[in-house]
Chains A and B, each alone.
Chain A
Amino acid sequence: MKRAAVATISASPNVNLSRALRAATARVRGQRALEAWVLLAAAACAVLIAGALLTGAANELGMLAWTLAGFVPVLGAAVWALRSVPILPVARAIDRAIEAPDLVASAVSFAALPAGEQTPFMQICVAQAEQASRQLVPSRALAFQRPRALPALCALALWLIGLSHGPSLPPIATLATRAAVQPALDADTAAAFANELDALKAQPLDPEAAELVAKLNALLEGIAAGTIDRAQALAELRRLEEKLQALLADDPKAIEAALEQIGRALAGTPEAKPLEKALSENWPDAVQELKRLSERVAEGKLNAQAEQRLAKSLERAAGERASAGRQAAVDEAKRELDRLLRKQEEQRAHGGQDRERDERLLKRKQRELDQLEREQEQASAADRELDKLQRELDAASKALNEKDKQAAADKLQDAANELERAARQQQSRSQAGRLTEQLAQLRAEIAQRRGEAGQERSGDASGDGGSPIPLSAQRFGRMAQGKPAGGEGQQGGQPGGAAGQQQQGAGQGQQPGEGSGGERLAQLRQGANAGPGGDQTALLEQSGTSDEQGRGDGAGLGGKPQSGPATAGSDQHVDTRIEGEKRGGPSRSEVIFESGQRGFADQGYAKVHDDYARHAESVLEREHIPGGYRYYVRRYFQLIRPRESTQGAAP
């Protein structure tokens, strides 16, 4: 009868328990959905904010982005909520709510067992859980908790609202670019360069030079404003230098020399004396003199003799060629080089002794020939540049010979115009030279600002096939290496020059014996830059050899090896090995050896342990040792005692 009562309890459908569990599960799902929605919504807000910052305005994100941002959290929450809910945590949550430890959890576990396996106590437990869950209020048992990500969601949502309703911000890409801008120069230095450029702008400029000056000015303004970073500045400088190279293709010195030759040809004529002087000193004056001469011829102020003298002088001037004399020098140098080569071959055939000296001589002659050929080429270019001028002079000479004063005057006028054009071009080249120098200084300044001039140079050179190194730095580098600044010497007092010519000059400067005074300057400057100026020195090292840019081994780096003698040990010692003798007495060495070589020694360990433990015990008995410490000693031997399994195996 009693058993039947128990059976009635177990047969009850546990409606309340099931309902409570379902309700609790639903609340768990709801809590999960809430957590997931808040988390995903916060993530969506973060993504939208990132998008808004990248594009510059939240309104530009597009409908799709907003739709996705709204849809994804809902979908995620639904998926998260629909995942299966483990029953045990739910039941334990109910237990916590009803303050019955593990009642519902145990009841759920017991109820899941087959009826035959349920003990009466289990059935009582299920019944108790059923009864307890009757009073369960799910909302109280499992109250919704505030999602942990809610504050983050609120903050992000507010930010997003602010972005979508506030003024458009600059895109973050722009901000990032701005932030990443590496200033090429500080504003003061850029302003100093701009002031220097103003002096150049004040002069009448050739249109091409004016264009370059304008671009350089814009570049400096950009650097000062911080809108142009270092890389951009260097790239723009490279472009400007390339244009300057084109402007400075012709050697202004060759043209000057050719004009001087023309002037000397006019020297024998008193009528053309001012013109000769002006041609060697001041080209604008020469233009005026030529125009004045034209007027005098047109007005008939020259007598017949003077006209004839002038005609002859003009004819001589028209026949002058800048390259004429040089060609002979080139030919002579070629002949000399051939002679030397033949001589060397003969010496080689006959086993000559002084081959090294001949090699040096040959190389020197080869360099001289190269130089002459370059000068010849430049002179030819100058000839071409002044060809029209000379044609006009020739035509004027012919007209004078034919007594056609007006025609002669006109041709002289044309010659004056041509000279004026040449003068303008020369002025333009001069301006370009100054501009080049400014560019070089600017580049050097930018490179120094970075403090990695050598590396940067290498990088730039590899980018465009070897862009020129700052001219001032080249010059400085050559002098620092004790080599003459050849390029500078060739150009005389002319400021600047094409970078190519500078490099050429540097090549010449390597020849020993030329360019005195460089070594001293080099010493002085090295002294000034020694120590912390590692970057500067590295730059000099590179610029010393113009064809090996970017070789970054700068002087001043690295330590000097210890030069003093090593400390000599005065004490003498002799290692002596004393062999032990093994005799018949008792020894533990075997055990220790085994323990060390092959791990724990089972053999004999039990005996050893007992021996030592006994010895320790006797010492404890004999000595005055505090009780607490005695305990530790004994405990130690207890802990290291042989295991029972191995104890038996011990001898």
Chain B
Amino acid sequence: MTEPLPQERVESAVRKLAAVHEEVGKLVVGQRDIIEGALTCLITGGHALLEGVPGLGKTVLVRALAQAVALKFSRIQFTPDLVPSDIIGTTVIAEDERGRKAFTFQPGPVFSNIVLADEVNRTTPKTQSALLEAMQDRSVTVAGTTHMLAEPFCVLATQNPLEMEGTYPLPEAQLDRFLLKLHVTFPSHDDLHRILDRTTGDAEPSIRSVMSHEELLAVRATVREVAVARHVQDYAVRVLEATHRDRPGANALVKRYVRYGASPRGAQACLLAAKARALLAGRVHVSIADVRAVALAALRHRVILSFEGEAEGITTDQVLAETLATVPESV
């Protein structure tokens, strides 16, 4: 079998991704950026943290995405009494056909292609750590045995920003492991009408599987090939540097309210997400506009505000918006 031309691979990826987008759009009304963000994480091998109030369709989105790409999907509802073994699995004594008993590993829900970690901030840090370790290493170790997770592996975690009672906010080090943090916003007036039309009738939309497991892996390989010119990469680096209060390019807001700027992983996330966005748009090169478009989602959870900033109600989105406005596109 001959290897397809790069252009063909790009066109195929664009086609497939557009089909996935369309399928997800059958269930999820509006939220185009969120769908794109979730797709971005899926095709770049990253994980996404979806933040939004209950009822905005976060779970529906993840479920629809899993159905559209025909991947194994599992959902974990995080509660305070959840323990790590509930997620990663445990060894149990099992009896074989000949009646011999032996310890066998019973995989947890993390052994799926797409894991929906619902309300991830409601469980204890210990359990959170178990999931986040699996996200980072793409493997789990139980009873001294390391078990590799399936590929692709994508965690789409959700959290509710309002109900803080009894929650365990994710530490910054663990937040850094999410490629994107997506804010699920309230739908518009028209979108609300469409949601009602689709969900209160007798016909429930069904999701077709439009992308196979192999196709997804091929797309993931294609994303990495998207070319980035030096000036675009330089822009991403300058944006990242500008989130640090002691670096040149930092604006007044950063200098006053930011405790720590984004880590280099933020620049990686930014560029990778920009590549995915370029591919979604059918381009083989990343533009500065791509970087600008994904910068908020890629960096908002990596910038740590000072206490003064939090007390004054400053958000990382405000800081980043100001940074993007002040960093010149070319020097």
A residues within 8 Å of B by Cβ? 1-2, 5-6, 88-89, 92, 101-103, 105-107, 109-110, 119-122, 124-125, 128, 627-628, 630-632, 635-636, 638-640
Contacts and interface: CB of A to CB of B under 8 A. Distances in A.
B285 interface: yes
Given A125-B284, A630-B165, A632-B311, A6 B6 contact: yes
Given A102-B232, A631-B164, A120 B310 contact: no
Contact of B330 (A89, A107, A635): A89
B15 interface: no
Nearest to B4: A2
Interface in B1-31: 2-7, 10
Nearest to A641: B171
Contacts of B285: 102-103, 106-107, 110, 121-122, 125
B229 A105 contact: yes
B310 A635 contact: yes
A102 B227 contact: no
B163 A121 contact: no
Nearest to A1: B2
Contacts of A105: 229, 231
Interface in B228-267: 228-232, 259
Contacts of B186: none
B330 A120 contact: no
A566 B271 CA distance: 77
A584 B278 CA distance: 69
22 contacts: A1-B2, A2-B2, A2-B3, A102-B288, A103-B283, A106-B228, A106-B229, A106-B232, A106-B286, A106-B287, A107-B285, A109-B231, A119-B225, A119-B227, A121-B226, A122-B227, A124-B10, A627-B165, A631-B164, A639-B306, A639-B307, A639-B310
Given A6-B5, A102-B288, A102-B289, A88 B231 contact: yes
Interface string B303-331: 00011001100000000000000000110
A214 B307 CA distance: 87
Contacts of A638: 169
A181 B113 CA distance: 92
A121 B6 contact: yes
Secondary structure call for the A interface = helix
B330 A92 contact: yes
B302 to A, nearest CB: 16
Which residue of B7, B10, B230, B311 has the most chain A CB atoms within 10 A of its CB atom? B7
Contact of A630 (B164, B283, B307): B164
A101 B289 contact: yes
Contacts of A630: 164-165
Contacts of B310: 632, 635, 639
Contacts of B164: 627-628, 630-631
Contacts of A119: 225, 227
A591 to B, nearest CB: 20
Contacts of A125: 227, 284-285
B165 A102 contact: no
Nearest to B279: A121
A106 B290 CA distance: 13
A635 B289 CA distance: 35
A119 B310 CA distance: 45
Contact of B229 (A1, A102, A120, A128): A102
A628 B313 CA distance: 12
Contact of B284 (A1, A124, A628): A124
A332 B286 CA distance: 119
A640 B165 contact: no
Given A89-B330, A628-B164, A631-B164, A5 B5 contact: yes
A5 B2 CA distance: 13
A98 to B, nearest CB: 13
Contact of A109 (B5, B165, B225, B230): B230
B329 to A, nearest CB: 8
Contacts of B227: 106, 110, 119, 121-122, 125
A635 to B, nearest CB: 6
A124 B279 CA distance: 13
Contact of A636 (B225, B228, B230, B307): B307
A106 B232 CA distance: 8
A6 B6 CA distance: 9
A88 B232 CA distance: 11
Select the residue from B229, B288, B290 with max chain A CB neighbours within 10 A.
B229
A439 B187 CA distance: 94
Given A121-B284, A635-B310, A639-B259, A110 B229 contact: yes
Interface in B274-307: 283-290, 306-307
A102 B2 CA distance: 32
A639 B287 CA distance: 37
B6 A124 contact: yes
Interface string B195-229: 00000000000000000000000000000011111
Q: Which of A92, A105, A107, A119 has the largest number of chain B CB atoms within 10 A? A: A105
Contacts of A6: 5-6
Contacts of B311: 632
A381 to B, nearest CB: 86
Contacts of B10: 121, 124
Contacts of B230: 109
Question: Across chains A and B, which 8 residue pairs bring their CB atoms closest together, nearest first?
Answer: A102-B287, A101-B287, A106-B229, A109-B229, A120-B6, A631-B164, A106-B285, A121-B284
A102 B235 CA distance: 12
Contacts of B232: 102, 106
Contacts of A110: 227, 229, 285
Contacts of A628: 164
A632 B225 CA distance: 44
Contacts of A631: 164
Most chain B Cβ neighbours within 10 Å, of A107, A124, A636: A124
Interface in B151-206: 163-165, 169
A272 B289 CA distance: 125
A120 B165 contact: no
Contacts of B6: 6, 120-121, 124
Nearest to A89: B330
B310 to A, nearest CB: 6
Contact of A88 (B225, B259, B307, B330): B330
A268 B130 CA distance: 148
Contacts of A1: 2
A507 to B, nearest CB: 73
A88 B229 CA distance: 11
Contacts of B165: 627, 630
Contacts of A103: 283, 285, 287
Contact of B225 (A2, A121, A627, A639): A121
A163 B227 CA distance: 62
Nearest to A113: B230
A101 B288 contact: yes
Contacts of B2: 1-2
Nearest to B226: A121
A614 to B, nearest CB: 16
Contacts of A632: 310-311
Nearest to B8: A2
A124 B231 CA distance: 18
